[in-house]
Structure 1
Amino acid sequence: MTAANLDCAVSPTALPAPAPAPGNDERLALRKKLGFGLGDFAFNLYWQATTLYLLYYYTDVLGLPPVTAGWIFGGALLWDALCDPVAGYIANRTRTRWGRYRPYLLFGSVPLALSFMAMFFPTNLQGTTLLALVLVTHMIFRTTYTVLSMPYNALMATLTCDSRERGSLAAYRMVCASAAGLVVALLTLKLVHVFGMADQKRGFFVVMALYAVASIPVFLLTFFSTQERVQPDSHGITIREALATVAHNLPFLLACGITVAIVGAGTFFSKTLPYVMKYGLHREDLIGPALGTVAVQVFIAIPFWAWVMRRTSKRFVAMAGGCLGICGYAALGAIGMPSISVFFILIGLIGFSIAAALLSMWAMVPDTVEYGEWRTGIRGEGTIFGVFSFAHKVALAMAVGGVGHMLGAVDFVANRSQAQSTIDGIWAMLWQGPMIFLGISVGLAFLYPLSPGKHRKILEALHQRRAARTPSN
């Protein structure tokens, strides 16, 4: 049966009366929540290292022009984004004795570690050869990353159908992710100096190798501590059916839009911050602590926002966090280049708002899987998360490329004293872009329709539909 001839048992505007939905009492054990969440710790050793330091490594260590470095970074991310729906579709059709998604964690962790280390392998190449090496190693890393990350993301929707438990899972993974961000932000440059001394290339390689090796046992722990409880589609879905799960899923499309805006805001902020610290505030030594302050605030704030989410909704948390972030960026713009203490207070406030954005973003998407099944008859969580990740990474690629391009536009040249116009341009990038993006995210979050109550009704409708299709004995 294809998506074309599947009608909903209940129309979207005529949901059944509220009833205890199947799976709403599916409490997950602490070890399973923590085991799943730790997987994001491992992923964020990679993600945060590349997000926070790879562009800086390209420009200030390898000596690449900022525009070139930005578009190499962005081009590799675009390739990654194109791979995401394909990886999600393939994972959705995978059938093994370990499930659909967990085996990728088992067999993909070592290739991912090796590809990450290759990006930072010390080299004295120059010119076109260096550019080719940087681009190829980055694309290989992005490919192996998506082969693991896509199944991991989709795994979240198979652990439970309970919307509140999914919110709890999102909180666990965000706490673990922010812990990794804290480690990477605070320790990377210090360890680069310890292991490399005057040789930054060697220092970066050793540190990134440590992160890569540390990730492997964590991925294995996630594999052994999780179990796919939600049954897959009864047949391998076609490409047409996979596309239908996306095209007819308004909450998912809104969640993607919210994510694009959040990623744009976060990328402009995190990519510009090291340059502001080094060239605007002349405190290169505080790059790590500044990034660490943001990570600490995310780590602290996740439990608070999870508590708020359980008592309100994912939509409310997304809007509240966005508004708080807008206030933080507006304060930066109003004050201008502040003192170090004021600057750290404001970026701490921004970090607190980032926690809400990340938590709501990852908590919203699993619920859209049931909405898509309700509308089309196809779960397709692999496809849902593949397209979601595609949107996420396209936004990141364009934002990183934009940052690199704008650095070139304001006449930035690495490792030199910058003109005041250049510093002013970098400062404007830090707060203006993020504030605009967050305004968009708040507007889209306002339109997001899946409340906890509506999700429960959808689960009940799906339960009734499956019961009607089950032959009686």
Structure 2
Amino acid sequence: MKLSIKEKVGYACGDIASNFYWRVFDVFLFIFYTDVFGIPAAAVGTMMLVTRIIDAFTDPMMGALSDRTKTKWGKYRPYLLWGIIPIAAAGILTFTVPDLDQDGKLVWAYLTYIFMMLAYTFINVPYGALLGVITQDTQQRTMLSSFRFVGAFSGGTIVAFMTPFWVSTLGGDNEILGWQLTMALYGLIAGGLFCVTFLTCRERIQPPKQQAKPQQDILDLFKNKPWLILFSIALIIMLTISIRGSVGTFYFKYVLAREDLIGMFSGAYLISLGIGAAATPILTKFFDKRRLLISLMLGVTLLSVLFYLVPNDSIPLAFAIQIGIGLCLGPKSPLVFSMYADTADYGEWKNGRRSTAMVFAAAAFSQKLGGAIAGATIGYVLGYLGYVANAEQTTGSIHGIVLLMTLIPGFFALLSIVFLYFYNLDDASLASYQQDLDERRRDPEYQ
């Protein structure tokens, strides 16, 4: 079945909405905590690691809950409405700076960031699971996933480029108020976009009734070899993306001394990510997903090494390499999330049970855990090398920022290639599994 443009765009609206939060975290949250909130870099790194570990429990729980939800609107779509108020409130509270001492501020940061991650999980896990039940056609899934991430990078580009403007415009001389009002604005926009996704998308694949306990869903994942490998790949690539995304603000503020270019740099990068995502359906017509991803991550590795050699006064070259890395990383998300939907098919074929949301919940956890390890890595490296917020940096901290922007994410990109060699769910085997599933689903006793 060929999906309509309306449904593809409608599904993409959900990730535009999500990126009014995720991209703020990715680009601005670390430097907000250090330079505005006043928390030491190492403490921020630890906080991000601890709070994301909590998601090790909440993501699978959310997957199990939504897999077992039954409403007239489907399993997953209702959460797009139910989650609007929590995520909007959490966004505002996370960027609120209370009048407390250092320890009190740190406790506040922990509590509000945990709330933010829980709210994000509540709405984003079911949203991701929708991809697995809208269509079974693998090329249509890739197309839908591509639309999704074009939306994600479009929303992310707006956030990266416009957030500094909105903070200064809405807050004036009060930067803290500017952040609160900016997040309130983003909450309103995101809520409207989630409603669009709810109204335009349909759940067409009806899996067998979920009779197993949630623990069985998790055990099924650990028996699903393609999913295990894909989880590892997504986690490692997320390290590459998150480290580079967060450190870019430090790189322009302290290494290049061009803080005025942060929005433009992040925007150019996200536009290139969007172009790469948009090109994914075309690329997958000619290249196997696995081989394509290997080639792209090799490109990221080589360009990251080249970035390390860029002189501090070569800003156009830094932009050019950053755009090249974005073009290589852009197809990653559509490819990986399309492949996750494929592993859900494989899991149903192997176990006779389908846990679509659990598959995507664990996928979301790989993203969050990758971001957590990235945040911890940034915090510990900067803390060890003597980073001090809003001050002239030492030679050591400057070199640390450069390494975090170049060779360290390049290493993780190279590591992902090693894991990709073990992923064996190709198009031919997947087609065979899906044909067998179609025959099973025609049996009334299977439902």
TM-score range, shorter chain: over 0.9
Map of 1:59 onto structure 2? 34
Partner of 2:214: 239
Tell me which of 88, 95, 101 is aligned to 1:126.
101
Q: How far did 1:301 drift?
A: 2.0
Give the alignment partner of residue 203 of structure 2, picking from 228, 232, 235.
228
CA contact (8 A) 2:67 2:210 kept: no
2:21 corresponds to which of 32, 38, 46: 46
What is the 5 A alignment of 1:281-360? 281-337=256-312, 339-360=314-335
The one-letter code of the counterpart of 2:253 is K
Aligned-pair CA distance for 1:122 = 4.3
**1:317–1:360 Cα contact (<8 Å) kept:** no
1:336, CA displacement in angstroms? 4.8
Alignment match of 2:351 (pick from 373, 376, 379) = 376
2: distance between equivalents of 1:443 and 1:356? Answer: 18
| 1:395 aligns to 2:370 (yes or no) | yes
Tell me, in whole angstroms, the C-alpha distance in 1 between the residues paired with 2:415 and 2:300.
12
Q: 1:6: which partner in 2?
A: none
Aligned to 2:397: 422
Q: Which runs of 5+ in 1 are unaligned?
A: 1-25
SS in 2 for 1:447: coil
Structural mapping, 1:130-169, within 5 Å:
130-169=105-144
Contact 1:233 1:378 in 2 (8 A): yes
Aligned to 2:152: 177
Q: Which moved more, 1:227-236 or 1:433-442?
A: 227-236
Where structure 2 has 5 or more consecutive residues not aligned to the other structure, the ranges are: none
Match of 1:434 among 409, 417, 435: 409
Offset at residue 369 of structure 1 (A): 0.5
Provide the rounded CA distance (Å) in 1 between the counterparts of 2:419 and 2:342.
Answer: 17
**Count of equivalent residues:** 446
RMSD of the alignment, in Å?
A: 1.6
| Equivalent pair of 1:87/1:146 in contact (CA under 8 Å) | yes
The answer to whether the Cα contact below 8 Å between 1:277 and 1:287 also exists between their aligned partners in 2 is: yes
Read off the aligned partner of 1:160 and give its amino acid letter: T
1:199 aligns to 2:144 (yes or no): no
Spell out structure 1 runs of 4+ moving beyond 4 A.
none
Aligned equivalents of 2:299, 2:72: Cα separation in 1: 46
Which residue number corresponds to residue 19 of structure 1?
A: none
The separation in 2 between residues aligned to 1:321 and 1:336, in whole angstroms, is 25
Map Cα deviations across residues 421-447 of structure 1 (whole Å, 9 max, x no partner): 221121112111111111111222232
- Residue identity in the other structure for 1:104: Y
Letter in 2 for 1:307: I
- For 1:5, the equivalent position in structure 2 comes to none
Does the residue aligned with 1:96 lie in a helix, a strand or coil?
coil
Change (3 A) 1:240 1:414: closer
**TM value normalised by structure 2:** 0.96
The Cα shift of 1:338 comes to 5.1
Structure 2: how far apart are the matches of 1:52 and 1:461?
44
Q: Is the contact between residue 58 and residue 69 of structure 1 (CA under 8 Å) also seen in structure 2?
A: yes
Q: CA deviation at 1:126?
A: 2.5
Q: CA deviation at 1:139?
A: 0.8
Q: Distance in 1 between matches of 2:55 and 2:394?
A: 36
SS at match of 1:235: coil
Range 216-225 or range 310-319, more displaced: 310-319
Read off the aligned partner of 2:124 and give its amino acid letter.
Answer: S
**Number of the residue aligned with 1:23:** none
- Cα offset, 1:337, TM superposition: 3.6
Q: What is the identity, as a one-letter code, of the residue corresponding to 1:360? A: L
How does the TM-score come out when normalised to structure 1? 0.91
1:407 alignment partner, one of 379, 382, 402: 382
Q: Structure 2 counterpart of 1:428, which letter? A: L
Distance 1:198 1:240 in 2: 52
Larger Rg: 1
Deviations 1:297-352 (A, max 9, x none): 11222222321013222212311221111121011123454511111111111111
Instruction: Give the whole-Å Cα distance in 2 for the aligned partners of 1:118 and 1:306.
Output: 39
**Counterpart-to-counterpart distance in 2, 1:274 and 1:288:** 9
Contact 2:298 2:417 in 1 (8 A): yes
